[in-house]
Chain A
Amino acid sequence: MATVQASMAGNVWKVLVAEGEEVKAGQDVVILESMKMEIPIAAEEDGTVQKIHVSEGDFVNEADRLVDVE
């Protein structure tokens, strides 16, 4: 299983996938907003979204778990 982590601290602006959805490596799964900039976070490998750990509006720290992909 691969965990997609936050690359920096910020607010979760958009969650782009749903649990059970197929994703490809490089596909954006979450968009963070940090210092007024949108930071897209991509899945690192192909798989199925097992669990989404965050909701839109949540604050996350660097390295927090966002999405599990298997």
Chain B
Amino acid sequence: MFSKILIANRGEIASRIIRTCKQMGVKTVAVYSEADENALFVREADEAYCIGKPQVNLSYLNADEMIRIAKKSGAEAVHPGYGLLSENASFAQKCLDEGLAFIGPAPAILAAMGSKIEARKTMKQAGVPIIEGINVALQDEEEAKAAAESVGYPLMLKASAGGGGIGMQLVHSEEELVKAFAGNKKRAESFFGNGDMFLEKYIQEPHHVEVQILADSHGHIIPLWERECSIQRRNQKVVEEAVSPFISEETRTKMLDAAVKAAHHIDYTNAGTIEFLVDKEENFYFLEMNTRLQVEHPVTEEITGLDLVEQQLKVAAGEKLQLTREEVKRSGHAIEVRIYAEDPKTFFPSPGQITALELPEGEGIRHECAVESGSAVTPFYDPMIGKLIAWGPTREEACRRMQKALDEYKIEGIKTNLPMLRKVISHQQFLAGITTTDFVNQYYLPELTTTN
């Protein structure tokens, strides 16, 4: 096992990784921008180094500086967390070239899965169902129109390098497609440095269900059940749960099998997630693969009793997985909500200073929180400031514990989405387990305007 690792990330995920490292006796090195000087994770790490100005391209995306600090501090491995450099193949390669282990899959896999078009082709070869659509980059509106003709409306226009809902739009007609094309292409170029666009047929009333896998470097791959992440706003997840309340046991087995098949086909190693869209009839289609730890990994940990960060470190250190698929526990039900610093109605961000923070306690309640009373929420990074996880022996009990915890959760000084979360978790549709990706538009937003 490594004796010291560098965490190339910030916020709650840096704290989360540090916690496991402490339990394992692994020393941690944090890096931070000038804006995060007083952040919790900086104090929690054994060592911390300022890496630059607040803007991500001058700090958390500076691969060379990360590697310089890793070597200087004597770290043997780099944990990239999620977002930022976590799926950056050239960063992973640089780590390896400098003799640092990268806690994630091989650079070639990051590159292959980083392109949604390439990933679609690869999964098709692997025999995993993909959504009907186009597997080449569309250059302009004319090519898009022709392609849309063959796929049929409504469809999803997507950026191949996209993520976080950026560069993606639902279009119902040729007119909408033409309107949407250039803007999304430009946005993708600006955010991801790649403007390749493609089309997929729109799946009606879709559920977002993803399978967590663990793969060691000895060819052993196990699925750790699935997560349902259908409740989203701005195409970003807000509520996640394990397992999915929607799919049948038969579909579950098929999806887990497909995920393992996909991971085998690309010789995947470390923790990864295969995302699927599931339609009303429980047909499922590959959406994308996330080649890293995910924000919502705690719900999987809660039902399996596994520590995914520990597993990641062990796999990266060359160890074999110590359990088989049949031995993976599935106990009770877990729900996670993401706490965002944002207006609960418009979803616009709300930077500022947190004047008071009180985290609720209770049976089955877990916190992953990046902030404390007095913390500044700056405009430079993602608005997610924490996560609240509730486990219960049944889904009903998990919902009840979550409701109680949300009622007691207190953040003052900035706007947060807590009022939205309270409404969602106590909504009849949610309690009934009917959570399609359209939930917020269909049930949350309309009820806001009628009750206010």
Question: Which A residues lie at the B interface, using CB under 8 A?
Answer: 8-11, 13, 34-39, 59
List the A side residues contacting B164 at CB < 8 Å: 36
- In the bound assembly, the distance between CA atoms of A11 and B55 in angstroms comes to 9
The distance from the CB of B209 to the nearest CB of chain A, in whole angstroms, is 25
Asked if B360 is an interface residue, CB under 8 A from chain A, the answer is no
List the B side residues contacting A38 at CB < 8 Å: 187
Contact status of A35 and B55, CB under 8 A, knowing A9-B379, A10-B379: no
- In the bound assembly, the distance between CA atoms of A11 and B351 in angstroms comes to 13
List the B side residues contacting A13 at CB < 8 Å: 190
The distance from the CB of A52 to the nearest CB of chain B, in whole angstroms, is 20
Most buried by B among A8, A9, A36, A38: A36
Interface residue tally of chain B, by bracket? 10 to 19
The distance from the CB of A31 to the nearest CB of chain B, in whole angstroms, is 10
Instruction: Let me know if A37 and B55 touch, CB within 8 A.
Output: no
Instruction: Let me know if B351 and A36 touch, CB within 8 A.
Output: no
List the B side residues contacting A8 at CB < 8 Å: 348-351, 379
Among residues of A, the one whose C-beta sits closest to the C-beta of B187 is A38
Among residues of B, the one whose C-beta sits closest to the C-beta of A9 is B379
Asked if B370 is an interface residue, CB under 8 A from chain A, the answer is no
The distance from the CB of A54 to the nearest CB of chain B, in whole angstroms, is 15
- In the bound assembly, the distance between CA atoms of A39 and B379 in angstroms comes to 12
Asked if B383 is an interface residue, CB under 8 A from chain A, the answer is yes
- In the bound assembly, the distance between CA atoms of A37 and B346 in angstroms comes to 12
Among residues of A, the one whose C-beta sits closest to the C-beta of B54 is A59
Asked if B444 is an interface residue, CB under 8 A from chain A, the answer is no
- In the bound assembly, the distance between CA atoms of A25 and B350 in angstroms comes to 25
Interface membership of chain B positions 334-347, coded 1 if the CB is closer than 8 angstroms to chain A and 0 otherwise = 00000001100000
Among residues of B, the one whose C-beta sits closest to the C-beta of A38 is B187
The distance from the CB of A33 to the nearest CB of chain B, in whole angstroms, is 8
The distance from the CB of B384 to the nearest CB of chain A, in whole angstroms, is 9
Asked if B382 is an interface residue, CB under 8 A from chain A, the answer is yes
List the A side residues contacting B350 at CB < 8 Å: 8
List the A side residues contacting B342 at CB < 8 Å: 35
Among residues of B, the one whose C-beta sits closest to the C-beta of A62 is B351
Q: Which of B379-397 contact A (CB under 8 A)?
A: 379-383
Instruction: Let me know if A34 and B351 touch, CB within 8 A.
Output: yes
List the B side residues contacting A35 at CB < 8 Å: 341-342, 349, 351, 379-383
List the B side residues contacting A11 at CB < 8 Å: 55, 379
- In the bound assembly, the distance between CA atoms of A39 and B341 in angstroms comes to 15
The distance from the CB of B375 to the nearest CB of chain A, in whole angstroms, is 15
Among residues of A, the one whose C-beta sits closest to the C-beta of B351 is A9
- In the bound assembly, the distance between CA atoms of A37 and B381 in angstroms comes to 10
15 CB contacts below 8 A, A to B, read: A8-B351, A8-B379, A9-B351, A9-B378, A10-B351, A11-B379, A13-B190, A34-B379, A35-B342, A35-B379, A35-B382, A36-B164, A36-B382, A37-B234, A38-B187
